[in-house]
Chains A and B, each alone.
Chain A
Amino acid sequence: MKLIRPLIFLWLGTMAPAIHAGGMAIDAGRTLAATCANCHGTDGHSVGGTESLAGVPRDTLLRKLAAFSRGEKPATIMHQIAKGYTPEQLTLIAEHFAAQRTHTGH
Protein backbone atom coordinates (compact mmCIF):
# COMPACT_ATOMS: atom_id res chain seq x y z
CA MET A 1 0.00 0.00 0.00
CA LYS A 2 3.02 2.25 0.44
CA LEU A 3 3.21 2.28 -3.34
CA ILE A 4 -0.10 4.11 -3.68
CA ARG A 5 1.08 7.55 -2.65
CA PRO A 6 4.06 7.77 -5.02
CA LEU A 7 1.80 6.39 -7.77
CA ILE A 8 -0.73 9.14 -7.21
CA PHE A 9 2.00 11.75 -7.45
CA LEU A 10 3.36 10.10 -10.53
CA TRP A 11 -0.13 10.14 -11.97
CA LEU A 12 -0.71 13.79 -11.04
CA GLY A 13 2.68 14.49 -12.60
CA THR A 14 1.57 12.99 -15.89
CA MET A 15 -1.63 15.05 -15.78
CA ALA A 16 -0.07 18.49 -15.83
CA PRO A 17 1.17 18.54 -19.43
CA ALA A 18 -2.00 16.84 -20.59
CA ILE A 19 -4.20 19.50 -19.01
CA HIS A 20 -2.04 22.01 -20.78
CA ALA A 21 -2.64 20.17 -24.05
CA GLY A 22 -6.41 20.19 -23.62
CA GLY A 23 -6.86 16.77 -22.04
CA MET A 24 -9.30 16.23 -19.22
CA ALA A 25 -7.54 14.73 -16.25
CA ILE A 26 -10.01 14.05 -13.48
CA ASP A 27 -9.26 15.14 -9.98
CA ALA A 28 -8.30 12.15 -7.80
CA GLY A 29 -10.54 13.41 -4.96
CA ARG A 30 -13.48 13.58 -7.31
CA THR A 31 -13.24 9.93 -8.35
CA LEU A 32 -12.70 8.79 -4.75
CA ALA A 33 -15.65 10.88 -3.50
CA ALA A 34 -17.78 9.34 -6.25
CA THR A 35 -17.57 6.02 -4.37
CA CYS A 36 -19.71 7.65 -1.62
CA ALA A 37 -22.47 8.76 -4.02
CA ASN A 38 -24.57 5.57 -3.76
CA CYS A 39 -25.73 6.67 -0.32
CA HIS A 40 -24.73 10.34 -0.09
CA GLY A 41 -25.71 11.52 -3.59
CA THR A 42 -23.73 12.83 -6.54
CA ASP A 43 -20.90 15.07 -5.25
CA GLY A 44 -22.40 14.78 -1.77
CA HIS A 45 -25.84 16.18 -2.60
CA SER A 46 -28.04 13.64 -0.80
CA VAL A 47 -31.62 13.34 -2.05
CA GLY A 48 -32.70 12.32 1.45
CA GLY A 49 -32.23 9.87 4.29
CA THR A 50 -28.46 10.36 4.53
CA GLU A 51 -26.24 13.28 5.43
CA SER A 52 -25.45 15.72 2.60
CA LEU A 53 -21.68 16.03 2.51
CA ALA A 54 -21.48 18.87 -0.03
CA GLY A 55 -20.01 21.99 1.51
CA VAL A 56 -19.20 20.39 4.87
CA PRO A 57 -15.83 21.74 6.07
CA ARG A 58 -12.88 19.44 5.42
CA ASP A 59 -11.81 19.17 9.03
CA THR A 60 -15.33 18.33 10.23
CA LEU A 61 -15.53 15.49 7.72
CA LEU A 62 -12.06 14.22 8.56
CA ARG A 63 -12.82 14.22 12.27
CA LYS A 64 -15.98 12.18 11.72
CA LEU A 65 -14.29 9.77 9.31
CA ALA A 66 -11.42 9.22 11.72
CA ALA A 67 -13.89 8.53 14.54
CA PHE A 68 -15.71 6.01 12.33
CA SER A 69 -12.43 4.29 11.37
CA ARG A 70 -11.39 3.97 15.01
CA GLY A 71 -14.82 2.64 15.96
CA GLU A 72 -15.42 5.59 18.32
CA LYS A 73 -18.52 6.93 16.58
CA PRO A 74 -21.60 4.66 16.66
CA ALA A 75 -22.67 3.52 13.20
CA THR A 76 -24.47 0.72 11.41
CA ILE A 77 -22.17 0.76 8.37
CA MET A 78 -19.78 3.75 8.21
CA HIS A 79 -17.28 2.22 10.64
CA GLN A 80 -16.88 -0.68 8.19
CA ILE A 81 -16.56 1.54 5.11
CA ALA A 82 -14.23 4.22 6.51
CA LYS A 83 -11.64 1.53 7.33
CA GLY A 84 -11.34 0.76 3.62
CA TYR A 85 -9.69 4.07 2.75
CA THR A 86 -6.18 5.33 3.60
CA PRO A 87 -5.84 8.62 5.54
CA GLU A 88 -4.58 10.22 2.32
CA GLN A 89 -7.66 9.05 0.42
CA LEU A 90 -9.98 10.27 3.18
CA THR A 91 -8.29 13.68 2.99
CA LEU A 92 -8.83 13.89 -0.78
CA ILE A 93 -12.49 12.88 -0.32
CA ALA A 94 -13.06 15.45 2.44
CA GLU A 95 -11.44 18.19 0.34
CA HIS A 96 -13.67 17.34 -2.60
CA PHE A 97 -16.89 17.51 -0.56
CA ALA A 98 -15.79 20.67 1.23
CA ALA A 99 -15.32 22.33 -2.16
CA GLN A 100 -18.88 21.58 -3.34
CA ARG A 101 -21.64 24.16 -3.18
CA THR A 102 -24.39 23.35 -0.69
CA HIS A 103 -27.38 23.45 -3.06
CA THR A 104 -29.45 20.28 -3.19
CA GLY A 105 -28.65 18.92 -6.63
CA HIS A 106 -30.99 19.12 -9.57
Chain B
Amino acid sequence: MTNRRHFLAAMGAAALAGCAQLGKSARNAHVVVVGGGFGGAAAAKYLRLWSDGRVRVTLVERNAQFISCPMSNLVIGGAQTMAHITHDYSGLRDHHGVRVIQDTVTAIDPSARELRLASGERLHYDRLLLSPGIDFMPESIEGLAGHEDEIPHAWKAGPQTALLHRQLAAMPDGGVFAIHIPKAPFRCPPGPYERASLVADYCRRHKPRAKVLVLDANADIQSKKGLFLAAWGDRYQGMIEYRPNNQLLGVDARTRTAKLEFNDVKADVLNVIPPQRAGKVVDLIGSRLVNDRWVSVDWLSTEVSDVPNVHVIGDATLSAPRMPKSGTMANQQAKVAAAAILHLLADLPPNPSPVVMNTCYSYVGSDSAMHVASVHRFDTAEHTFLPVEGAGGLSAVASPAEATAAQAWAHNIWADTLN
Protein backbone atom coordinates (compact mmCIF):
# COMPACT_ATOMS: atom_id res chain seq x y z
CA MET B 1 0.00 0.00 0.00
CA THR B 2 3.01 2.31 0.06
CA ASN B 3 2.20 2.88 -3.56
CA ARG B 4 -1.24 4.41 -3.42
CA ARG B 5 0.10 7.93 -3.46
CA HIS B 6 2.71 7.08 -6.06
CA PHE B 7 0.00 5.46 -8.13
CA LEU B 8 -2.09 8.64 -8.09
CA ALA B 9 0.99 10.75 -8.80
CA ALA B 10 1.89 8.50 -11.72
CA MET B 11 -1.65 8.76 -13.05
CA GLY B 12 -1.40 12.52 -12.72
CA ALA B 13 1.94 12.56 -14.54
CA ALA B 14 0.52 10.41 -17.31
CA ALA B 15 -2.35 12.82 -17.64
CA LEU B 16 -0.01 15.81 -17.80
CA ALA B 17 1.60 14.35 -20.89
CA GLY B 18 -1.73 14.70 -22.62
CA CYS B 19 -2.65 18.08 -21.24
CA ALA B 20 -2.86 19.69 -24.66
CA GLN B 21 -6.24 18.01 -25.05
CA LEU B 22 -7.50 19.08 -21.66
CA GLY B 23 -10.48 21.24 -21.47
CA LYS B 24 -11.07 22.94 -18.13
CA SER B 25 -8.72 21.42 -15.61
CA ALA B 26 -7.27 22.21 -12.25
CA ARG B 27 -3.80 22.75 -13.67
CA ASN B 28 -2.71 26.35 -13.18
CA ALA B 29 -5.99 27.21 -11.55
CA HIS B 30 -5.75 29.98 -8.97
CA VAL B 31 -7.41 29.86 -5.57
CA VAL B 32 -7.38 32.96 -3.39
CA VAL B 33 -7.81 32.44 0.36
CA VAL B 34 -8.73 35.40 2.56
CA GLY B 35 -7.92 35.10 6.26
CA GLY B 36 -4.92 33.24 7.68
CA GLY B 37 -6.38 31.73 10.86
CA PHE B 38 -6.97 28.06 11.65
CA GLY B 39 -9.31 27.77 8.64
CA GLY B 40 -7.67 29.84 5.92
CA ALA B 41 -4.05 28.91 6.59
CA ALA B 42 -4.90 25.19 6.71
CA ALA B 43 -6.92 25.47 3.50
CA ALA B 44 -4.04 27.21 1.71
CA LYS B 45 -1.64 24.46 2.80
CA TYR B 46 -3.92 21.55 1.90
CA LEU B 47 -4.84 23.05 -1.49
CA ARG B 48 -1.12 22.94 -2.34
CA LEU B 49 -0.51 19.57 -0.69
CA TRP B 50 -3.42 17.75 -2.28
CA SER B 51 -2.89 19.23 -5.75
CA ASP B 52 0.81 18.28 -5.61
CA GLY B 53 1.54 21.96 -6.09
CA ARG B 54 -0.44 22.21 -9.33
CA VAL B 55 -2.95 24.78 -8.09
CA ARG B 56 -1.65 28.28 -7.38
CA VAL B 57 -2.70 29.56 -3.97
CA THR B 58 -2.59 33.14 -2.69
CA LEU B 59 -3.34 33.82 0.97
CA VAL B 60 -4.38 37.36 1.90
CA GLU B 61 -4.02 38.09 5.63
CA ARG B 62 -4.01 41.51 7.25
CA ASN B 63 -1.75 40.59 10.17
CA ALA B 64 1.96 39.84 9.86
CA GLN B 65 1.72 36.89 12.24
CA PHE B 66 -0.63 34.13 13.33
CA ILE B 67 -1.66 34.51 16.97
CA SER B 68 -3.60 31.58 18.38
CA CYS B 69 -6.83 32.15 20.29
CA PRO B 70 -6.62 28.63 21.73
CA MET B 71 -4.10 28.85 24.61
CA SER B 72 -4.47 32.66 24.81
CA ASN B 73 -6.38 32.40 28.10
CA LEU B 74 -3.18 30.96 29.60
CA VAL B 75 -1.43 34.19 28.59
CA ILE B 76 -4.17 36.28 30.23
CA GLY B 77 -3.72 34.23 33.40
CA GLY B 78 0.05 34.73 33.31
CA ALA B 79 0.88 31.04 32.77
CA GLN B 80 2.11 31.46 29.19
CA THR B 81 3.74 34.13 27.04
CA MET B 82 2.63 35.84 23.82
CA ALA B 83 5.63 34.20 22.11
CA HIS B 84 4.13 30.76 22.83
CA ILE B 85 0.97 31.53 20.85
CA THR B 86 2.60 33.61 18.08
CA HIS B 87 3.65 31.92 14.83
CA ASP B 88 4.54 33.10 11.33
CA TYR B 89 3.57 32.25 7.79
CA SER B 90 7.03 31.25 6.55
CA GLY B 91 6.08 27.54 6.51
CA LEU B 92 3.22 28.17 4.09
CA ARG B 93 5.53 30.22 1.88
CA ASP B 94 8.70 28.13 2.06
CA HIS B 95 7.40 24.58 2.47
CA HIS B 96 4.22 24.80 0.45
CA GLY B 97 4.68 27.55 -2.12
CA VAL B 98 1.72 29.64 -0.99
CA ARG B 99 1.96 33.29 -1.96
CA VAL B 100 1.25 35.11 1.32
CA ILE B 101 0.23 38.76 1.02
CA GLN B 102 -0.17 40.97 4.08
CA ASP B 103 -3.01 43.22 2.97
CA THR B 104 -6.75 43.82 3.30
CA VAL B 105 -9.47 43.18 0.75
CA THR B 106 -11.37 46.28 -0.36
CA ALA B 107 -13.67 44.87 -3.06
CA ILE B 108 -14.82 41.53 -4.44
CA ASP B 109 -16.56 41.08 -7.80
CA PRO B 110 -17.95 37.53 -7.83
CA SER B 111 -19.18 37.80 -11.43
CA ALA B 112 -15.74 38.82 -12.73
CA ARG B 113 -14.09 36.53 -10.12
CA GLU B 114 -11.78 39.30 -9.05
CA LEU B 115 -10.83 40.94 -5.77
CA ARG B 116 -9.06 44.18 -5.07
CA LEU B 117 -6.61 44.81 -2.23
CA ALA B 118 -5.88 48.02 -0.32
CA SER B 119 -2.49 48.13 -2.06
CA GLY B 120 -4.38 48.47 -5.36
CA GLU B 121 -3.43 44.98 -6.56
CA ARG B 122 -6.15 42.99 -8.32
CA LEU B 123 -6.33 39.22 -7.95
CA HIS B 124 -8.26 37.02 -10.36
CA TYR B 125 -9.47 33.71 -8.94
CA ASP B 126 -11.02 30.50 -10.17
CA ARG B 127 -12.31 29.80 -6.67
CA LEU B 128 -12.31 32.12 -3.66
CA LEU B 129 -12.25 30.88 -0.06
CA LEU B 130 -13.07 33.29 2.77
CA SER B 131 -12.13 32.31 6.31
CA PRO B 132 -12.57 35.66 8.01
CA GLY B 133 -13.49 34.58 11.51
CA ILE B 134 -15.65 36.98 13.45
CA ASP B 135 -16.18 40.68 13.77
CA PHE B 136 -17.71 42.30 16.83
CA MET B 137 -20.98 44.20 17.13
CA PRO B 138 -20.02 46.64 19.91
CA GLU B 139 -22.73 49.09 18.82
CA SER B 140 -25.33 46.75 20.36
CA ILE B 141 -23.95 47.67 23.81
CA GLU B 142 -24.31 51.36 24.61
CA GLY B 143 -21.01 53.11 25.30
CA LEU B 144 -18.79 50.19 24.24
CA ALA B 145 -17.76 51.12 20.68
CA GLY B 146 -14.36 52.79 20.56
CA HIS B 147 -13.46 51.83 24.15
CA GLU B 148 -11.71 48.52 23.66
CA ASP B 149 -8.58 49.82 25.39
CA GLU B 150 -10.44 50.48 28.66
CA ILE B 151 -12.79 47.51 28.26
CA PRO B 152 -10.88 44.82 26.36
CA HIS B 153 -12.58 41.89 24.65
CA ALA B 154 -9.40 39.81 24.16
CA TRP B 155 -11.59 37.58 21.98
CA LYS B 156 -9.20 37.88 19.05
CA ALA B 157 -5.75 36.96 20.29
CA GLY B 158 -3.13 39.68 19.91
CA PRO B 159 -2.50 43.03 21.61
CA GLN B 160 -5.83 42.67 23.42
CA THR B 161 -4.61 39.46 25.08
CA ALA B 162 -1.51 41.19 26.46
CA LEU B 163 -3.60 44.20 27.50
CA LEU B 164 -6.08 42.13 29.50
CA HIS B 165 -3.22 40.36 31.29
CA ARG B 166 -1.69 43.75 32.20
CA GLN B 167 -5.03 44.96 33.55
CA LEU B 168 -5.32 41.82 35.66
CA ALA B 169 -1.76 42.22 36.96
CA ALA B 170 -2.47 45.88 37.87
CA MET B 171 -5.76 45.07 39.64
CA PRO B 172 -5.67 45.61 43.42
CA ASP B 173 -6.01 42.60 45.72
CA GLY B 174 -9.68 42.54 46.63
CA GLY B 175 -10.61 43.85 43.18
CA VAL B 176 -13.38 42.57 40.92
CA PHE B 177 -12.61 41.07 37.51
CA ALA B 178 -15.91 40.92 35.59
CA ILE B 179 -16.39 38.98 32.36
CA HIS B 180 -19.47 39.47 30.21
CA ILE B 181 -20.54 36.67 27.84
CA PRO B 182 -22.87 37.45 24.92
CA LYS B 183 -25.85 35.32 23.87
CA ALA B 184 -24.83 32.23 21.86
CA PRO B 185 -23.70 31.65 19.17
CA PHE B 186 -20.23 33.04 19.73
CA ARG B 187 -16.65 31.93 19.00
CA CYS B 188 -15.36 29.17 21.32
CA PRO B 189 -18.32 28.22 23.56
CA PRO B 190 -16.22 27.05 26.58
CA GLY B 191 -13.70 29.91 26.21
CA PRO B 192 -15.25 32.44 28.62
CA TYR B 193 -15.54 29.86 31.40
CA GLU B 194 -11.95 28.76 30.83
CA ARG B 195 -10.93 32.40 31.10
CA ALA B 196 -12.77 32.81 34.41
CA SER B 197 -10.93 29.72 35.69
CA LEU B 198 -7.48 30.93 34.65
CA VAL B 199 -8.06 34.44 35.99
CA ALA B 200 -9.10 32.85 39.31
CA ASP B 201 -5.98 30.66 39.20
CA TYR B 202 -3.86 33.79 38.86
CA CYS B 203 -5.74 35.58 41.64
CA ARG B 204 -5.46 32.61 44.00
CA ARG B 205 -1.68 32.97 43.78
CA HIS B 206 -1.30 36.76 43.52
CA LYS B 207 -4.51 38.42 44.73
CA PRO B 208 -6.27 35.99 47.06
CA ARG B 209 -8.98 38.47 48.08
CA ALA B 210 -10.03 39.20 44.49
CA LYS B 211 -13.31 38.09 42.94
CA VAL B 212 -14.14 36.85 39.45
CA LEU B 213 -17.64 37.73 38.38
CA VAL B 214 -19.09 35.93 35.34
CA LEU B 215 -22.02 37.87 33.86
CA ASP B 216 -23.61 35.57 31.30
CA ALA B 217 -26.33 36.73 28.92
CA ASN B 218 -27.22 33.06 28.49
CA ALA B 219 -29.42 31.06 30.84
CA ASP B 220 -26.60 28.64 31.65
CA ILE B 221 -22.96 27.71 31.13
CA GLN B 222 -22.66 26.92 27.42
CA SER B 223 -20.13 24.08 27.47
CA LYS B 224 -18.60 21.55 29.92
CA LYS B 225 -20.90 22.88 32.64
CA GLY B 226 -20.50 20.11 35.20
CA LEU B 227 -16.72 20.02 34.82
CA PHE B 228 -16.38 23.80 35.19
CA LEU B 229 -18.65 23.93 38.24
CA ALA B 230 -16.74 21.07 39.86
CA ALA B 231 -13.41 22.83 39.27
CA TRP B 232 -14.75 26.17 40.51
CA GLY B 233 -16.00 24.53 43.71
CA ASP B 234 -12.86 22.47 44.35
CA ARG B 235 -10.16 24.90 43.38
CA TYR B 236 -11.52 28.39 43.80
CA GLN B 237 -14.06 28.04 46.61
CA GLY B 238 -16.23 31.09 46.25
CA MET B 239 -13.77 33.19 44.26
CA ILE B 240 -15.82 32.79 41.05
CA GLU B 241 -19.42 33.97 41.10
CA TYR B 242 -21.59 32.93 38.15
CA ARG B 243 -24.67 34.98 37.24
CA PRO B 244 -26.87 33.67 34.40
CA ASN B 245 -29.42 35.74 32.42
CA ASN B 246 -27.36 38.91 32.76
CA GLN B 247 -27.82 40.73 29.49
CA LEU B 248 -25.46 43.69 29.14
CA LEU B 249 -27.21 46.84 27.94
CA GLY B 250 -24.43 49.40 28.27
CA VAL B 251 -21.09 50.26 29.81
CA ASP B 252 -19.37 53.29 31.27
CA ALA B 253 -15.77 53.00 30.13
CA ARG B 254 -14.51 55.68 32.54
CA THR B 255 -15.78 53.97 35.70
CA ARG B 256 -15.70 50.43 34.27
CA THR B 257 -19.35 49.94 35.05
CA ALA B 258 -21.47 47.25 33.41
CA LYS B 259 -25.11 48.28 33.04
CA LEU B 260 -27.19 45.12 33.18
CA GLU B 261 -30.92 44.68 32.82
CA PHE B 262 -31.59 44.71 36.57
CA ASN B 263 -28.53 46.31 38.17
CA ASP B 264 -25.16 47.95 37.59
CA VAL B 265 -21.83 46.31 38.38
CA LYS B 266 -18.68 48.30 38.92
CA ALA B 267 -15.51 46.34 38.21
CA ASP B 268 -11.77 46.91 38.48
CA VAL B 269 -11.24 45.02 35.24
CA LEU B 270 -14.18 44.82 32.85
CA ASN B 271 -13.81 42.24 30.08
CA VAL B 272 -16.74 42.45 27.68
CA ILE B 273 -16.94 39.80 24.97
CA PRO B 274 -19.23 41.56 22.49
CA PRO B 275 -21.89 39.92 20.31
CA GLN B 276 -20.35 38.60 17.09
CA ARG B 277 -21.04 38.14 13.39
CA ALA B 278 -19.18 36.84 10.34
CA GLY B 279 -16.01 38.81 9.58
CA LYS B 280 -17.11 41.87 7.64
CA VAL B 281 -15.19 40.96 4.47
CA VAL B 282 -18.14 38.66 3.69
CA ASP B 283 -20.26 41.76 3.09
CA LEU B 284 -18.25 42.29 -0.11
CA ILE B 285 -19.69 39.18 -1.81
CA GLY B 286 -23.33 40.25 -1.41
CA SER B 287 -24.52 37.06 0.27
CA ARG B 288 -27.72 37.26 2.29
CA LEU B 289 -26.57 36.60 5.85
CA VAL B 290 -28.65 34.48 8.23
CA ASN B 291 -29.94 36.72 11.06
CA ASP B 292 -27.78 39.42 9.45
CA ARG B 293 -24.79 37.64 11.00
CA TRP B 294 -23.71 34.29 9.53
CA VAL B 295 -22.97 32.96 6.05
CA SER B 296 -25.08 30.07 4.83
CA VAL B 297 -22.98 27.48 3.00
CA ASP B 298 -23.55 24.13 1.30
CA TRP B 299 -21.68 21.89 3.76
CA LEU B 300 -20.84 19.32 1.08
CA SER B 301 -18.56 21.82 -0.67
CA THR B 302 -18.52 24.85 1.70
CA GLU B 303 -19.67 26.93 -1.28
CA VAL B 304 -21.79 29.94 -0.30
CA SER B 305 -25.46 29.13 -0.91
CA ASP B 306 -26.16 32.21 -3.04
CA VAL B 307 -22.72 33.14 -4.49
CA PRO B 308 -21.09 30.70 -6.93
CA ASN B 309 -17.32 30.02 -6.85
CA VAL B 310 -17.02 31.51 -3.37
CA HIS B 311 -16.52 29.28 -0.31
CA VAL B 312 -16.68 30.26 3.36
CA ILE B 313 -15.46 28.26 6.36
CA GLY B 314 -14.88 28.66 10.08
CA ASP B 315 -16.55 30.86 12.67
CA ALA B 316 -18.15 33.04 9.96
CA THR B 317 -20.54 30.28 8.86
CA LEU B 318 -23.99 29.38 10.05
CA SER B 319 -22.83 26.29 11.91
CA ALA B 320 -24.30 22.87 11.20
CA PRO B 321 -26.27 21.37 14.13
CA ARG B 322 -24.12 21.12 17.31
CA MET B 323 -21.01 22.10 15.39
CA PRO B 324 -19.00 24.53 17.55
CA LYS B 325 -17.22 27.65 16.33
CA SER B 326 -13.72 26.41 17.19
CA GLY B 327 -10.22 26.45 15.77
CA THR B 328 -10.24 22.69 15.36
CA MET B 329 -13.51 22.84 13.47
CA ALA B 330 -12.19 25.58 11.16
CA ASN B 331 -9.10 23.47 10.43
CA GLN B 332 -11.33 20.46 9.71
CA GLN B 333 -13.64 22.47 7.46
CA ALA B 334 -10.55 23.75 5.64
CA LYS B 335 -9.83 20.20 4.50
CA VAL B 336 -13.43 19.64 3.35
CA ALA B 337 -13.14 22.91 1.42
CA ALA B 338 -9.71 22.12 -0.06
CA ALA B 339 -10.82 18.69 -1.29
CA ALA B 340 -14.11 20.05 -2.68
CA ILE B 341 -12.41 22.98 -4.42
CA LEU B 342 -9.84 20.72 -6.08
CA HIS B 343 -12.59 18.38 -7.24
CA LEU B 344 -14.76 21.21 -8.55
CA LEU B 345 -11.79 22.74 -10.40
CA ALA B 346 -11.35 19.37 -12.09
CA ASP B 347 -15.07 19.07 -12.88
CA LEU B 348 -15.43 16.27 -10.35
CA PRO B 349 -18.23 16.06 -7.78
CA PRO B 350 -17.19 16.76 -4.17
CA ASN B 351 -16.70 13.80 -1.84
CA PRO B 352 -20.31 12.73 -1.03
CA SER B 353 -19.54 11.66 2.53
CA PRO B 354 -17.09 14.02 4.25
CA VAL B 355 -16.35 13.67 7.97
CA VAL B 356 -15.13 16.31 10.41
CA MET B 357 -14.35 16.05 14.09
CA ASN B 358 -13.83 18.42 16.96
CA THR B 359 -11.44 18.20 19.89
CA CYS B 360 -11.57 21.10 22.27
CA TYR B 361 -9.46 21.33 25.42
CA SER B 362 -10.18 23.81 28.21
CA TYR B 363 -8.01 24.57 31.20
CA VAL B 364 -9.56 24.79 34.66
CA GLY B 365 -6.21 25.90 36.10
CA SER B 366 -2.77 26.35 34.59
CA ASP B 367 -1.93 22.68 35.30
CA SER B 368 -5.23 20.94 34.63
CA ALA B 369 -7.45 20.61 31.56
CA MET B 370 -10.44 18.70 30.16
CA HIS B 371 -11.93 18.08 26.72
CA VAL B 372 -15.07 17.80 24.71
CA ALA B 373 -14.94 15.80 21.47
CA SER B 374 -17.41 15.06 18.67
CA VAL B 375 -17.44 13.50 15.21
CA HIS B 376 -19.73 14.90 12.50
CA ARG B 377 -20.74 13.01 9.38
CA PHE B 378 -22.36 14.51 6.31
CA ASP B 379 -25.96 13.34 6.24
CA THR B 380 -27.25 13.01 2.69
CA ALA B 381 -30.93 13.25 3.61
CA GLU B 382 -30.49 16.40 5.72
CA HIS B 383 -27.73 17.72 3.44
CA THR B 384 -25.66 18.92 6.38
CA PHE B 385 -23.19 17.60 8.93
CA LEU B 386 -24.77 15.83 11.90
CA PRO B 387 -22.99 14.59 15.03
CA VAL B 388 -22.52 10.83 15.10
CA GLU B 389 -24.70 9.58 17.95
CA GLY B 390 -22.82 7.51 20.51
CA ALA B 391 -19.47 9.04 19.60
CA GLY B 392 -17.66 11.93 21.27
CA GLY B 393 -18.07 13.08 24.84
CA LEU B 394 -16.43 14.83 27.74
CA SER B 395 -13.56 14.12 30.09
CA ALA B 396 -14.57 12.22 33.18
CA VAL B 397 -12.66 14.81 35.20
CA ALA B 398 -10.15 17.61 34.53
CA SER B 399 -6.58 16.38 35.01
CA PRO B 400 -2.89 17.26 34.59
CA ALA B 401 -2.62 14.48 31.97
CA GLU B 402 -5.12 16.33 29.81
CA ALA B 403 -3.18 19.58 30.23
CA THR B 404 -0.24 17.74 28.65
CA ALA B 405 -2.57 16.43 25.92
CA ALA B 406 -3.84 19.98 25.32
CA GLN B 407 -0.29 21.20 24.69
CA ALA B 408 0.30 18.30 22.28
CA TRP B 409 -2.91 19.21 20.49
CA ALA B 410 -1.79 22.86 20.24
CA HIS B 411 1.64 22.08 18.81
CA ASN B 412 0.20 19.59 16.32
CA ILE B 413 -2.67 21.77 15.11
CA TRP B 414 -0.37 24.79 14.76
CA ALA B 415 2.02 22.67 12.68
CA ASP B 416 -0.83 21.13 10.67
CA THR B 417 -2.21 24.59 9.95
CA LEU B 418 1.01 26.49 9.24
CA ASN B 419 3.85 24.08 8.46
Contact = CB atoms under 8 A, between A and B. Distances in A.
A72 B290 CA distance: 44
Interface in B362-393: 371, 373-375, 377, 380, 388, 390-393
Contacts of B1: 58, 95, 98-99
B346 A84 contact: no
B388 A83 contact: yes
A50 B413 CA distance: 12
B332 A35 contact: yes
A35 B353 contact: no
B62 interface: no
Given A19-B8, A35-B332, A95-B1, A11 B46 contact: no
A49 B15 contact: no
B18 interface: yes
Contact of B351 (A23, A31, A98): A31
B243 interface: no
A24 B12 contact: yes
A82 B51 CA distance: 28
A30 B349 CA distance: 17
A14 B46 contact: no
A74 B386 CA distance: 27
Contact of A106 (B3, B25, B91, B347): B91
Interface in B88-141: 91, 95
A27 B412 CA distance: 23
A83 B95 CA distance: 34
Interface string B399-419: 101101101110111011001
Contacts of B395: 76-77
A76 B373 CA distance: 11
A38 B5 contact: no
Contacts of B49: 42
A14 B418 CA distance: 32
Nearest to B15: A22
Interface stretch (B148-156, B227-235, B335-343): B335-343
Contacts of B263: none
B331 interface: yes
A84 B22 contact: no
Contacts of A8: 352-353
B361 to A, nearest CB: 9
Nearest to B91: A106
Interface of A: 1, 3-4, 7-8, 10-11, 14-15, 18-32, 34-35, 37-42, 46-50, 58, 76-77, 80-85, 89, 95-96, 98-99, 105-106
* Cβ-closest 4 pairs across A and B: A84-B375, A49-B408, A23-B346, A84-B391
21 contacts: A11-B352, A22-B18, A23-B26, A25-B8, A30-B50, A31-B354, A35-B332, A37-B331, A38-B412, A39-B412, A42-B419, A47-B411, A47-B412, A49-B405, A49-B407, A76-B399, A76-B405, A81-B359, A83-B375, A84-B392, A105-B415
